[in-house]
Amino acid sequence: MTARILVVDDIPANVKLLEARLLAEYFDVLTAADGFACLDLCARTQVDLILLDIMMPGMDGFEVCERLKSNPKTMHIPVVMVTALDQPADRVRGLKAGADDFLTKPVNDLQLISRVKSLLRLKALSDELRLRAETAHTIGMEELMKAEMRNDESGNVLLVDGRGSSQERIVKALKPIAQVTAMSDPQAALFEAAETPFELVIVNSNFDDYDPLRLCSQLRSLERTRFVPVLLVTEQGADTMVVRALDLGVNDYIVRPIDPNELIARCLTQIRRKRFNDRLRSSVQQTIELAVTDALTGLNNRRYLDNHLAVLFQRAKARSRPMSLCITDIDRFKSVNDTYGHDAGDEVLKEFARRIRSTVRGADLACRYGGEEFVLVMPDTVPEMATAAAERLRAVIENEPFRLKGAGVDLHITASIGLSSTLWGAPSPEALLKDADRALYEAKRSGRNRVVAAAA
């Protein structure tokens, strides 16, 4: 795993020590002697992770972290605070400032490298999602990261704990921020996690006859739980378990005895990150939908038609099944725009699309082809059935006036329709479209408001 890591510490010996350990793992290492140099470097160059000292002159690590996390350009960079401070209050303050984790001096080599690799994996995932979402300009990154959990936005947490007494303490501690489902059977908890949209799973390692890392591994291997954050509760000094957990994809850990404030801070960090990535994934899905959907009418667009028509055509050919295609055009649509304006024209197009949807089957493909032209693809449909469907659509358009809400008038709209079929010998999807287009031209030429078949 290659990445650029920034080490920030005012003591050169500390910097050299961390730098040597990271270089041994083939990371690219940058260094800064104070918070101002850190912020300047992050503004000028790509940084994948920051190891940040707390006690520095001029600007301490807490303030540096707050500035990094409040800047849309640097808020996504994981920050690990490396410090001699080991009080729970210091960790809570750092987590509230936006830190992703803490390492206490002297730094344990295994925990350092495992934590760095774990956070870099998470960052790589978020970066990929951010890149896709930003490309489409569909979300505001700053608003996503700055959004605070409102009081009514309790998290949904699953606690897997082998002892009733510790279950009670953790549930009580998290009550202000989350609804907690507590379970003591790991396998039953795995099924529950797969069926319920939890935002965090807390796994306590206090089982007498069960390896908690097995559950962590299973949570990461299941498709439904792969992206749910996992927080491991461990004993003091359980370095080997922590390293293995981080390698398995566990997001964070907390050491017993648990400080309630630190538990809350770590849980909030994981829940917010989960919501952030969920919104990124949702945005990517919306981007995909926008790429194949006509924004005005909600029908599929020409890009989708060009791709999917070929699939439908080959399927019909392989199964020796008929397929028909209609191109419909709104008659004299230009006069609507010229007389009432383009807003009125948009109203007509949206209502026209609604009437198309009301007349087609679920298996049919309706698309806006461009301008006032629409395409309807009907799989498993012989020409006679397609002609009847086209006539129904033509009648639905003609028989009910189009109400222009903005202008307060009713318009009499008609449509011309050209029809083609694979049964008439079209050798390709492109030929099928051309046949229907020629039939549409004939319908226009011979008086409009009619259906013309290509074979006629």
345 falls in which pLDDT band (50, 70, 90)? very high
151 falls in which pLDDT band (50, 70, 90)? very low
Examine the domain organization and report whether 320 and 388 are in the same domain.
Answer: yes
DSSP line for 327-368:
EEEETTHHHHHHHH-HHHHHHHHHHHHHHHHHHS-TTSEEEE
246 falls in which pLDDT band (50, 70, 90)? confident
Question: 143 pLDDT exceeds 60?
Answer: no
Q: How far apart are CA 420 and CA 435, in angstroms?
A: 6
Examine the domain organization and report whether 93 and 157 are in the same domain.
Answer: no
Question: 185 pLDDT exceeds 80?
Answer: yes
The arithmetic mean of pLDDT across residues 121-133, rounded, is 70
- Torsion-angle region of residue 420: left (phi > 0), alpha (psi -120 to 50) or beta? beta
Q: What pLDDT does 280 receive?
A: 75
C-beta atoms surrounding 405 within 10 Å: 9
Which CATH number fits the domain that encloses residue 96? 3.40.50.2300
DSSP 69: H
Q: What pLDDT does 285 receive?
A: 65
Question: 144 pLDDT exceeds 50?
Answer: no
Question: 253 pLDDT exceeds 80?
Answer: yes
Question: 409 pLDDT exceeds 80?
Answer: yes
Instruction: Look at residues 107, 135, 162 and tell me which one is the last residue of a structural domain.
Output: 107
DSSP 48: S
**Among residues of the chain, what percentage have pLDDT more than 70?**
92
- Residue 52: name the closest of 110, 119, 2, 1 by CA: 119
Q: What pLDDT does 284 receive?
A: 64
Strands (E), 194-266: 200-204, 230-234, 252-255
Least confident span in 92-101, 162-171, 397-406: 92-101
- Would 319 be classed as within a structural domain? yes
Q: How many domains does the chain have?
A: 3
Instruction: Name the token pair of 349.
Output: 């197009």
The arithmetic mean of pLDDT across residues 25-29, rounded, is 91
What's the Cα-to-Cα distance from 362 to each of 153, 245, 358, 379, 395, rounded to whole Å? 38, 48, 10, 11, 20
Q: Containing domain of residue 331, as a range?
A: 302-453
Strands (E), 265-341: 323-330
Burial class (CB in 10 A: 0-12, 13-18, 19+), 406: exposed
Examine the domain organization and report whether 182 and 86 are in the same domain.
Answer: no
Examine the domain organization and report whether 221 and 346 are in the same domain.
Answer: no
Examine the domain organization and report whether 75 and 201 are in the same domain.
Answer: no
- Residue 3: name the closest of 109, 97, 77, 95 by CA: 77
C-beta atoms surrounding 402 within 10 Å: 19
Name the residue type at position 447. Answer: G
- Would 117 be classed as within a structural domain? no
Question: 1 pLDDT exceeds 70?
Answer: no
Question: 145 pLDDT exceeds 60?
Answer: no
- Would 387 be classed as within a structural domain? yes
What is the tens place of the pLDDT at every residue in 214-245? 999 999 989 899 889 999 999 988 888 988 99
Examine the domain organization and report whether 271 and 308 are in the same domain.
Answer: no
Examine the domain organization and report whether 277 and 312 are in the same domain.
Answer: no
The arithmetic mean of pLDDT across residues 51-58, rounded, is 92
The arithmetic mean of pLDDT across residues 90-101, rounded, is 85
Find out whether 106 and 83 touch, Cβ atoms under 8 Å.
Answer: no
- Would 358 be classed as within a structural domain? yes
Whole-number mean pLDDT of the chain? 88
Find out whether 404 and 410 touch, Cβ atoms under 8 Å.
Answer: yes
Q: What pLDDT does 352 receive?
A: 96
Q: Name every residue whose Cβ is closer than 8 Å to that of residue 39 and which is 6 or more positions away in sequence.
A: 64, 67, 68
- Residue 207: name the closest of 196, 216, 199 by CA: 216
Examine the domain organization and report whether 254 and 313 are in the same domain.
Answer: no
Helical axes 109-136 vs 239-248, angle rounded to 10°: 20
**443-449-453-456 Cα dihedral, nearest 10 degrees:** -60
Instruction: Look at residues 285, 316, 341 and tell me which one is the last residue of a structural domain.
Output: 285
- Would 134 be classed as within a structural domain? no
Find out whether 366 and 390 touch, Cβ atoms under 8 Å.
Answer: no
Find out whether 436 and 454 touch, Cβ atoms under 8 Å.
Answer: yes
> How do 230-234 and 200-204 pair as beta strands?
parallel
Question: 323 pLDDT exceeds 70?
Answer: yes
The arithmetic mean of pLDDT across residues 41-57, rounded, is 93
Q: What pLDDT does 349 receive?
A: 96
Name the residue type at position 293. Answer: T
372 annotated active-site: yes
Q: How far apart are CA 184 and CA 276, in angstroms?
A: 29
Examine the domain organization and report whether 310 and 427 are in the same domain.
Answer: yes
Greater confidence, 132 or 93? 93
Greater confidence, 418 or 131? 418
Find out whether 230 and 249 touch, Cβ atoms under 8 Å.
Answer: yes
Find out whether 116 and 108 touch, Cβ atoms under 8 Å.
Answer: no
148, 199, 372, 442: the catalytic one is 372
Instruction: Look at residues 252, 285, 318 and tell me which one is the last residue of a structural domain.
Output: 285
Look up tokens 């935002």; give the residue: 199
Instruction: Name the token pair of 381.
Output: 């449909």
> How do 155-160 and 200-204 pair as beta strands?
parallel
Question: 91 pLDDT exceeds 70?
Answer: yes
Examine the domain organization and report whether 244 and 311 are in the same domain.
Answer: no
Helix (H, G, I), strand (E, B) or coil at 433: helix
The arithmetic mean of pLDDT across residues 361-371, rounded, is 90
Question: 294 pLDDT exceeds 70?
Answer: yes
